[in-house]
């Protein structure tokens, strides 16, 4: 993944400067701990469909989706499993899930995904960089510069699964390892939230970032969608514009976006805001990069080639 790894190195240099009725099978859960999918759909402007044969509900907005199955405590968001506090259940012809799932998972994605924050005033007001981005990797010393790389998922959490059965977690780690080696060759100190097929929790990833205090964090992921035509890359920053490091996170996101535009054939889906914990609860400049869509045949073919890698 040399080309993709080079994109990350390239930017680091500049940072250095409706339901049918069914019999309920579960014990009642306190209403205060739950929220119905219809209410979530209304709050976040999502479409909600129900498959009675599979006992599954689908929440969707554009290329983003979540799947909830009755009596299952796993919710699938963009093809990735997320553990819920308790299984989804049916009551009064409504499907309910834990309110924590709404706040921590669904709201974090759907509430902000439609907004390309590159168009927002807070991004536009950032000073334009006083340099010209060149096609080659800049010759710069990374002495005393540290980068925390976060390969998403790992271990029991496969992340998205490509049509050919390949796991997102392995792509993420492969990209991160190549980025790490290039940075080390340039003199940078590189930290990793994982360097093997392990599963650090989100709490552990945030703790590592806040304790190690690297100069920046880049969380590496690959995207997934029900619509196989969905394609391209995205760069995510936190919704917390009041954070001290927000302007640097925004600048890092802008630089990564520019590098992708210049050095990959992928479509540009823009810079977006989200409350993903790994970028929202960390105290250093942080971005989350969705490098491409594993569910798209062309994206998958590109990321699987040596040129793309």
Question: Across the 309 residues of the chain, what is the mean pLDDT of every consecutive 10-residue run?
Answer: 63 50 40 86 89 90 87 86 91 91 83 49 42 45 88 93 94 94 91 97 94 96 91 93 92 91 92 89 96 95 82
Closest CA to 47 of 110, 113, 115: 110
Q: Where among 110, 129, 156 does a domain terminate?
A: 110
Q: What is the pLDDT of residue 13?
A: 54
- Continuous H helices in 117-156: 121-124
**End-to-end CA distance of the chain, in Å?**
2
Residues 106 and 122 in one domain: no
Residues 228 and 157 in one domain: yes
Q: What is the pLDDT of residue 1?
A: 64
Q: Where among 79, 94, 110 does a domain terminate?
A: 110
Q: Which domain holds residue 259?
A: 2-16+115-303
Residues 69 and 153 in one domain: no
Evaluate whether residue 309 is within a structural domain. no
Q: What is the pLDDT of residue 139?
A: 56
Q: How many domains does one find in the chain?
A: 2
Q: What is the CATH number of the domain that holds 64?
A: 3.30.457.10
Q: What is the pLDDT of residue 120?
A: 43
**Spatial distance between the Cα atoms of 44 and 6, rounded to a whole number of angstroms:** 37
Residues 202 and 292 in one domain: yes
**Spatial distance between the Cα atoms of 76 and 171, rounded to a whole number of angstroms:** 20
Q: What is the pLDDT of residue 129?
A: 42
Evaluate whether residue 177 is within a structural domain. yes
**Spatial distance between the Cα atoms of 116 and 61, rounded to a whole number of angstroms:** 15
Q: Tell me the three state secondary structure of residue 122.
A: helix
Residues 64 and 191 in one domain: no
Q: What is the pLDDT of residue 111?
A: 64
**Spatial distance between the Cα atoms of 262 and 257, rounded to a whole number of angstroms:** 9
Evaluate whether residue 308 is within a structural domain. no
Evaluate whether residue 91 is within a structural domain. yes
Residues 59 and 128 in one domain: no
Residues 57 and 180 in one domain: no
Q: Where among 56, 76, 110 does a domain terminate?
A: 110
Residues 206 and 72 in one domain: no
Evaluate whether residue 176 is within a structural domain. yes
Residues 153 and 106 in one domain: no
Token pair in block for residue 145: 């510069």
Q: What is the CATH number of the domain that holds 138?
A: 3.40.630.40
Residues 196 and 75 in one domain: no
**Spatial distance between the Cα atoms of 191 and 187, rounded to a whole number of angstroms:** 13
Residues 100 and 121 in one domain: no
* Distances 183 to 96, 113, 180, 188, 215 between C-alpha atoms, Å: 46, 31, 5, 5, 13
Residues 215 and 257 in one domain: yes
């Amino acid at each position: 993944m040399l080309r993709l790894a080079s994109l990350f190195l390239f930017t680091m240099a500049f940072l250095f400067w409706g339901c049918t009725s069914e019999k309920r099978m579960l014990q009642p859960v306190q209403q205060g701990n739950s929220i119905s999918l219809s209410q979530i759909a209304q709050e976040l402007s999502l479409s909600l469909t129900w498959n009675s044969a599979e006992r599954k509900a689908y929440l969707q907005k554009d290329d983003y989706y979540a799947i909830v199955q009755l009596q299952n405590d796993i919710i699938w968001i963009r093809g990735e499993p997320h553990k819920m506090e308790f299984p989804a259940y049916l009551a009064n012809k409504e499907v309910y899930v834990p309110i924590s799932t709404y706040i921590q998972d669904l709201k974090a994605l759907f509430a902000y995904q439609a907004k390309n924050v590159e168009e927002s005033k807070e991004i536009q007001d950032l000073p334009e960089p006083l340099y010209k981005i060149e096609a080659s990797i800049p010759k710069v010393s990374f002495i005393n510069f540290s980068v925390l790389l976060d390969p998403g998922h790992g271990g029991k959490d496969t992340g998205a699964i490509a049509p050919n059965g390949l796991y997102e977690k392995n792509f993420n780690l492969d990209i991160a390892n190549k980025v790490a080696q290039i940075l080390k060759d340039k003199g940078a100190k590189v930290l990793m939230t994982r360097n093997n097929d392990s599963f650090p929790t989100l709490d552990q990833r945030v703790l590592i970032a806040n304790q190690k205090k690297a100069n920046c964090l880049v969380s590496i992921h690959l995207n997934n969608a029900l619509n196989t035509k969905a394609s391209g890359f995205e760069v995510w920053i936190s919704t917390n514009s009041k954070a001290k490091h927000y302007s640097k996170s925004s600048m890092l996101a802008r630089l990564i976006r520019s590098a992708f535009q210049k050095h990959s054939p992928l479509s540009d889906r823009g810079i977006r805001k989200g409350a993903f914990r790994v970028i929202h609860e960390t105290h250093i400049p942080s971005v989350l990069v969705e490098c491409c869509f594993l569910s798209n045949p062309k994206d998958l073919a590109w990321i699987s080639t040596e040129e793309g890698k």
